[in-house]
Amino acid sequence: MSEGSSSGSLSVFKHAPLVASSFIALSLLLLPREFTVQLGFFEAYFKLDALSIFFSSLLAFVSFYVSIYTIGYVSELKGKAHLVLILTGVFILSMFFTIISNDLISFLFFWEIMSLSSFYLVISDEGKESSKVGFIYLLMTHLGTAFIILSFLLLYIKTSSMSFDSFRGSADLYIVLLALLGFSVKAGIVPFHVWLPYAHPVAPSNVSALMSGVMLNTAIYGMMRFLFEFSSSNFLFTSLLLIVFGCLSLVYGAIYSLTESSVKKFLAYSSIENMGLLVIGMGLANLGLYKEILPIYSTSKAFVLLHTLNHSLLKSSLFMGAGVMVKMTHEYSMNRLGGLSKASPLLFYLMLVSSVFISALPPSNVFFSELLLYKTLFLALNIKGDPSSYILILVLTLLALSGVFVGATFVKFIGVVFLGKSRGAKVSNKPSVAELFGIALPVALSVSIGIYPYPLLSILSNIYSLSLPDLNYLPFNLLFVSFILLLVIFLAMRKNRARIYETWICGLDEENPSAQATTLSQTYSIRRLFSMFYSTVSEINFDAEIKKYFRSSILYKEELKDIFEEKIYKRLAGYILAVSDQIRKILQTGNINLYISYIFLTLLLCFLIYIVLTGEKP
């Protein structure tokens, strides 16, 4: 195929994600609330209720602007770009059908298509690193799927039905825990998060935006189904477990995103931190139901829905922005970037607003959703004589601490990447109009929600029958408007009184961009203070023949290792490989009679499982 015909066919395929997102939007408008479709050997049952419509609408909107971004980003797609674009469309559609599925088989069928299509998209770069990452992703996602399948099978045995309608109020504690475990792997909750920081740096940025912006939501959706609909009772143990693991993810994600220097990896850790917030919110909602205190349940559920929306908007915009930065410079390390505000001022302002908003500074949309979480915690603390109040005080402390880390993280991001001068990376491209438009849409919606969130909150309250207490929150009052006005006047006057002076360059003879602050220098104190949470590998190289204080060049490298991966997963993998090797030596003897016996025993075992599950006699 000639180059001209290849680019021509690519221009057709680059609209595949947009077609998929448009199909979802039209389906939400035109499809009946319940319908069935014959899919080969099984009949799929779909249902559009309040929860599935919320997550599907969010998916339709996020995939729409990511599709517009993809039109401009298509030149960065490596490997088989045609297949990547088609699979992106399949990935979007599989998430939609997963969310609206209303029976066991169709849910698992589309869940698996979602996992496999995202797996291929992660390894689409076809490099050595992407193969390793793809294996980790596939292993973890199927580990989670195994627990989800087990929980559904137990529900099927209990209800003798595959319909979700029959599952309502049928899941015992152990079934709920199995399902939560499975969905936690997909959501990247600590300690099941190890695939997330690996997958995003190798995946194309439009795919990262979809994975972090909407795929993680499918796990949140599954958790909410089991917690608030399928569960036979509201278990206190489940609430406390969710709060504990949510806090762990919250703090862990915040600490690692602060010190991470890879421009996409730090966003992955930020997603882990936000998933922790959502899990805490679900735990508090379940606690409200257990205590039969409606305001706690209503406020925390409103937080979960609103924060899911806010996180999807802002994280997808940040991942798309990160993709543009990499496209402009071909550099992933923040320590080699710098001065991008001059190369693309519009991208700088979009990333600045996204960073300010996801840091939960007022009057942002995330500030408002987190305000709901704080309100819930204070409501729960008012329960007299409840031992769980001591845990909630700790949650409040960790929430405040993580907020500081998140703010510092995005100050680091904006300061190192956009301000100052380049530390080595050269700008070779400019962002396209489609890319900037795709990033600007979620930022604009975030601003509108932050300025006046009440219409959206009112819609959510009415749909889900939530009884919310008065928040006494005015995003824009006279004092705030006056402050903004004074700030604008000050900046305007300051511009007219600009001073020109020589910058102090730390005693050096000439200006050296590499002497600017890096992520390592900015976070040195934090790494020392929280060293128990980090596993670091440092290396210093210099010429030993030259005097100590007059080195011609010094190379310092420091690499942070995920402590869960180093202390748990790698050791566990070593034990499993050693045991597997011993089992292999026992089972694989080369005797053909033994292999035939294995086949016979496997058939016998399958036959026994069939009898046990169906109750039929041979």
Task: Please give the biggest Cα pair distance in the chain.
Answer: 93
Report the candidate in 436, 428, 439 with the shortest Cα–Cα distance to residue 343. 428
DSSP per-residue letters across 108-164:
HHHHHHHHHHHHHHHTTT-SHHHHHHHHHHHHHHHHHHHHHHHHHHHHHHHHS--BH
> How many other CB atoms are found less than 10 A from the CB of residue 526?
16
Q: Of residues 382 and 60, which shows the higher confidence score?
A: 60
pLDDT band at 616 (very low <50, low <70, confident <90, very high): low
SS3 588: coil
Structure-block tokens of residue 540:
């210093």
pLDDT band at 337 (very low <50, low <70, confident <90, very high): confident
Whether pLDDT at 445 is above 90: yes
pLDDT band at 454 (very low <50, low <70, confident <90, very high): confident
**Phi, psi angle pair for 331, to nearest 5°:** -135, 130
Model pLDDT, residue 1? 45
Q: Once rounded to an integer, what is the mean pLDDT over residues 177-181?
A: 95
Q: What is the dihedral of CA 105, 305, 117, 70, to 10 degrees?
A: 150
Cβ atoms of 288 and 234 closer than 8 Å: no
Report the candidate in 271, 189, 191, 279 with the shortest Cα–Cα distance to residue 242. 279
Whether pLDDT at 332 is above 50: yes
Whether pLDDT at 58 is above 90: yes
Model pLDDT, residue 254? 92
DSSP 232: S
Min mean pLDDT across 134-143, 183-192, 281-290, 484-493 is at: 484-493
Rounded to 5 degrees, what angle do the CA atoms 488, 490, 493 make? 110
Model pLDDT, residue 436? 93
Min mean pLDDT across 28-42, 173-187, 531-545 is at: 531-545
Model pLDDT, residue 562? 81
Whether pLDDT at 6 is above 60: no
Model pLDDT, residue 606? 87
- State the angle between helix axes of 294-329 and 365-381 in degrees (0 to 180), rounded to the nearest 10: 150
Min mean pLDDT across 64-73, 160-169, 260-269, 416-425 is at: 416-425
Tens digit of each residue's pLDDT (9 = 90 or more) over 74-89 = 877 766 788 889 999 9
Whether pLDDT at 59 is above 90: yes
Model pLDDT, residue 67? 93
**Residue where the block lists tokens 């070779």:** 428
Mean pLDDT score of the chain: 86
**What percent of the chain stands above pLDDT 70?**
89
Tens digit of each residue's pLDDT (9 = 90 or more) over 581-591 = 888 888 887 88
Tens digit of each residue's pLDDT (9 = 90 or more) over 532-566 = 777 777 777 666 655 666 666 667 777 777 888 88
Model pLDDT, residue 423? 81
Tens digit of each residue's pLDDT (9 = 90 or more) over 141-159 = 989 999 999 999 999 989 9
Cβ atoms of 56 and 48 closer than 8 Å: yes
Report the candidate in 476, 458, 447, 456 with the shortest Cα–Cα distance to residue 314. 447
SS3 561: strand
Q: How far apart are CA 496 and CA 297, in angstroms?
A: 54
Structure-block tokens of residue 388:
């769980």
Rounded to 5 degrees, what angle do the CA atoms 80, 86, 89 make? 140
Model pLDDT, residue 553? 67
Q: Once rounded to an integer, what is the mean pLDDT over residues 409-432?
A: 87
Model pLDDT, residue 531? 77
> How many other CB atoms are found less than 10 A from the CB of residue 170?
16
Min mean pLDDT across 34-38, 355-359, 460-464, 470-474 is at: 470-474
pTM of the predicted model over 0.85: yes
Min mean pLDDT across 5-9, 105-109, 554-558 is at: 5-9
Task: Kindly report whether the peptide bond that precedes residue 363 is cis, defined as omega within 30 degrees of 0.
Answer: yes
Q: How far apart are CA 318 and CA 267, in angstroms?
A: 8
